[in-house]
Chains A and B, each alone.
Chain A
């Protein structure tokens, strides 16, 4: 297993609730939620840097909406 480092994280109540909620809904630990978030953030950042756009498409209506990623 790859060695891991520990850090303290300061979150507001709302942020902590969101983290708790994602942890339950996704069936993973809070640490796993944050690691997953980091993977996604880094992937999106790399794609946007290459000039790609981040789009969401409604499966039923096929309506597309671009997510601005600043």
Chain B
């Protein structure tokens, strides 16, 4: 399958200037190479810093052990899963993997299909919560928008769902996703859903 590429606009935090990037509807070997060669050393430096400062492991970024090579290989060839990547300034800036077989839980749309964001991760240098200067802003939003657009394209009316890592709870609430509370079946992470009505408003704004 040919990878579809859309132009997106990100913000260079240091200069305040807009930066063009690519949203790609796949995670390919080049992205996995970037994850291995660029993200991993940057993340290792962050983790070493956290360890040196005595920060407990349960307060480390929850995605520190994610292996995108394994995640991608596990769903290779399966129609139910899709990957997205954001590339800008010559390197992969964010990755996501979505599952199209899940059903909504929010009462007004319970049982209807949605796009479930299994994993979303932006490059370590784009994450303000890691306490270091960030390079680009808008990568996570671009990946979220891609999921809403895919849901719309698949006839799911933009419905999406996800389990949020604690540092992202406020962001998902801010963009109008419904907080359905902690999910005991999923590491007690909060489960958020975007309704069809909210998704249409979200897509119009984007």
Is B137 an interface residue when CB atoms closer than 8 A count as contact? no
B111 part of interface (Cβ distance < 8 Å): yes
**A28 to B112 alpha-carbon distance, docked (Å):** 8
A28-52 contacts to B, CB under 8 A, are: 28-29, 31-32, 35-36, 38-40, 42-43, 46
* In the complex, chain B residues whose CB is within 8 Å of the CB of A1: 4, 153
Interface size on A, residues (CB 8 A): 17
Contact between A26 and B113, CB atoms less than 8 A apart: yes
Give CA–CA (A32, B25) in the complex, Å.
Answer: 19
- Chain B interface secondary structure, helix, strand, loop or mixed? loop
Min distance, Cβ A35 to any Cβ of chain B, angstroms:
7
Instruction: Tell me how far the C-beta of B152 lies from the nearest C-beta in chain A, rounded to whole angstroms.
Output: 10
* Chain B residue with Cβ nearest A38: B79
Contact between B155 and A42, CB atoms less than 8 A apart: no
Contact of B109 among A2, A27, A29 (CB under 8 A): A27
Asked if B154 contacts A32 (CB within 8 A), the reply is yes
**A2 engages B1 (CB within 8 Å):** yes
Instruction: Determine if B157 and A39 form an interchain contact, defined as CB atoms under 8 angstroms apart.
Output: no
B153 and A42 within 8 A (CB) = no
Task: Kindly provide the distance from the CB of B164 to the nearest chain A CB, expressed in whole angstroms.
Answer: 23
Contact check, A28 vs B1: say whether CB atoms are below 8 A apart: no
| Of A25, A35, A38, A40, the contact of B154 (CB 8 Å cutoff) | A35
What B residues does A29 contact at CB under 8 A?
A: 155
Q: CB distance A32 to B156 under 8 Å?
A: yes
Which chain A residues border B111 with CB–CB below 8 Å?
A: 25-26
**Chain B residues proximal to chain A, CB less than 8 Å:** 1, 4, 25, 78-80, 100-101, 109, 111-113, 153-157, 196
